């Protein structure tokens, strides 16, 4: 009887130990350690002076995703350069649940008018786990492109005028029912004398709309050209900075097929300064 009792106790102990082991294993599978990965989107390796720099920061990981995001551009080996900084403080709820997360934590833009080597560093500090994460990317600002000179001119002496409008008009839907898209924005631009619009960059301090690269839109003299912009969520009266890219001296380069050759066209960025978004009814 004693032998049977001992065997029974041993058998129960094995079952309990196995069950506890399985439970701990499952618990380990379900409770992943919190982590945060930082991804910087939109950055290039090379820019020219005055060329708009736009980027976004995506956080991905497991945990709460609750914390502070900071970004800064610094110039290497230059103590007198004033760093360009951004910060975004997340709003956190009490006792947040741990889960997988992925979201855009920051969108920003900048313009640098000094040549040199620069570093964009992004940090994330989680307010729940106190974990610190960071990443960085380096880029170069040069006075010219290697192919096609790009100059920068803050003074607008080429007769370029541009305004951004927010349309509140209703448009007929395919079925004939009136509809309204609150995100219709367009830019009206004019030139005197005739010129070509190669690109544009419109920013409000948090986000930007850029034009397609590699295209040339003719700007007739004393005429207004309407350009439909990408959908956005700006408000009427918001201030935006408008920069346009034109061919230097108004001259385009052409390839062997008589098509516009953006790689060998000398370009210039014109800063049109701030402008209000005007509602249209």
Are 156 and 272 within one domain? Answer: yes
Q: What is the pLDDT of residue 73?
A: 95
Does residue 9 register a pLDDT over 50? no
Question: Does any domain span residue 213?
Answer: yes
Q: What is the pLDDT of residue 213?
A: 78
Query: Which CATH number belongs to the domain containing residue 87 in this structure?
Result: 2.60.40.2550
Give mean pLDDT, residues 4-33: 49
Are 158 and 137 within one domain? Answer: no
Are 176 and 254 within one domain? Answer: yes
The whole-chain average pLDDT of the chain stands at 78
CA angle 195, 200, 203 (to 5 degrees): 145
Does residue 87 register a pLDDT over 70? yes
Are 227 and 171 within one domain? Answer: yes
Are 131 and 82 within one domain? Answer: yes
Q: Which of 10, 123, 109 is nearest to 50 (CA)?
A: 109
- How many domains are contained in the chain? 2
CA 3 vs CA 9, 14, 92, 110: distances in Å: 10, 16, 61, 81
Burial 183-213 (b: 16+ CB within 10 A, else e): ebbebebbbeeebbbbbbbbbbeebbbbbee
Are 157 and 274 within one domain? Answer: yes
Q: Which of 114, 49, 122, 51 is nearest to 78 (CA)?
A: 114
Token couple for 90: 């997340």
User: What's this model's pTM, rounded to 2 decimal places?
Assistant: 0.46
Rounded-to-integer distance, Cα 214 and Cα 200, Å: 12
Which structural domain, as residue segments, surrounds residue 88? 36-142
44-59 pLDDT, tens per residue?
A: 998 877 788 999 999 8
For the ranges 77-86, 149-158, 174-183, the maximum mean pLDDT occurs at: 77-86
Question: Does any domain span residue 13?
Answer: no
Does residue 203 register a pLDDT over 50? yes
% of the chain surpassing 90 pLDDT: 18
% of the chain surpassing 70 pLDDT: 77
Helix locations, the chain, DSSP H: 2-30
Give mean pLDDT, residues 220-225: 86
Question: Does any domain span residue 24?
Answer: no
Least confident segment among 10-19, 223-232, 254-263, 271-280: 10-19
Q: How confident is the model at residue 223 (pLDDT cuts 50, 70, 90)?
A: confident
Rounded-to-integer distance, Cα 46 and Cα 179, Å: 43
Q: Which of 126, 142, 158 is the last residue of a domain?
A: 142
Are 212 and 127 within one domain? Answer: no
Q: What is the pLDDT of residue 180?
A: 62
């Amino acid at each position: 009887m004693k032998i049977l009792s001992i065997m029974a106790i041993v058998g129960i102990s094995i079952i309990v130990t196995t069950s506890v082991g399985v439970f701990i294993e499952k618990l380990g599978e379900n409770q992943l350690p919190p982590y945060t990965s930082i991804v910087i989107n939109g950055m290039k390796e090379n820019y020219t002076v005055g060329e708009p720099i736009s980027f976004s920061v995506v956080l991905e990981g497991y945990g709460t995703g609750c914390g502070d995001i900071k970004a800064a551009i610094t110039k290497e080996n230059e103590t007198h350069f004033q760093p360009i900084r951004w910060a975004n403080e997340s709003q956190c709820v009490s006792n947040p649940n741990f889960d997988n997360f992925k979201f855009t934590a920051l969108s920003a833009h900048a313009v640098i008018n000094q040549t040199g080597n620069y570093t964009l560093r992004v940090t994330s500090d989680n307010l729940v786990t106190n974990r610190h994460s960071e990443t960085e990317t380096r880029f170069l600002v040069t006075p010219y492109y290697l192919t096609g000179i790009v100059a920068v001119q803050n003074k607008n002496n080429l007769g370029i005028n541009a305004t951004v409008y927010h349309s509140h008009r209703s448009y007929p839907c395919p079925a004939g029912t009136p509809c309204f898209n609150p995100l219709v924005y367009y830019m009206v631009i004019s030139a005197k004398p005739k010129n070509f619009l190669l690109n544009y960059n419109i920013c409000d301090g948090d986000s930007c709309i850029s034009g397609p690269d590699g295209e040339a839109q003719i700007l007739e003299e004393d005429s207004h050209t309407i350009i439909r912009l990408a959908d956005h969520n700006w408000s009427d009266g918001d201030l935006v900075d408008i920069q346009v890219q034109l061919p230097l001296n108004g001259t385009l380069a052409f390839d062997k097929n008589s098509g516009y050759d953006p790689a060998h066209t000398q370009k210039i960025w014109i800063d049109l300064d701030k402008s209000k978004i005007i509602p249209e009814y």
